[in-house]
Amino acid sequence: MSVALLHSEVFMPKWVKETVMAKERKIRNAYLSKHCEDNLFISNFKHDIEREKLLGIVNSLKTNPVMPFEVEITKDGTNYNVTKIVIRTNYNDERDISIVLRGNMIVTAWLNYKIDEHKTLDESKYIKSFSEIK
């Protein structure tokens, strides 16, 4: 089995985006990883996240899916499976929240100012075509 990362600014076919959004619509009873429970609800900029607000945002994906900006896929034989989703969506008037999901589990999340455009993308971490997956 091979694992690869896709990024919306590098390579992410329409069918991957559609698959992710279909998975988001199936999220029920989202829960937090141990990392989230231990680290996200402390008072600092990136992790000053309200627990119930985070859970509410993820649970709302079933009716309002969000386009992913990063997707991890695994290749098993000729099948590709989405194993991780990273989305960015509204948190409040000043900040957005990025959320990493594996199925119904919230792996981690962080806050960014809405004006932060992250011009430091390391394209070498992402595949540019499926032929790159071994």
For residue 132, tell me if it sits in a domain. no
Say what the pTM is.
0.92
For residue 123, tell me if it sits in a domain. no
The C-alpha atoms of residue 122 and residue 110 are separated, in whole angstroms, by 19
Residue closest to 72 by CA, chosen among 54, 56, 84, 55: 84
For residue 62, tell me if it sits in a domain. yes
What pLDDT does 26 receive? 95
Measured at the CA of 86, the angle between CA 81 and CA 87, to 5 degrees, comes to 125
For residue 130, tell me if it sits in a domain. no
Q: What is the pLDDT along the chain (134 residues), one digit of tens a residue?
A: 799 999 999 999 999 999 999 999 999 899 999 988 888 777 665 678 888 999 999 999 999 999 999 999 998 888 899 999 999 999 999 999 999 999 999 999 999 999 887 678 899 999 999 888 76
| Tokens describing residue 101 | 């999901």
What pLDDT does 8 receive? 96
For residue 127, tell me if it sits in a domain. no
The C-alpha atoms of residue 100 and residue 32 are separated, in whole angstroms, by 11
For residue 120, tell me if it sits in a domain. no
Structural domain span for residue 50: 2-115
For residue 131, tell me if it sits in a domain. no
For residue 64, tell me if it sits in a domain. yes
Work out whether the CA dihedral 82, 35, 26, 11 comes out positive or negative. Answer: negative
- Total domains in the chain come to 1
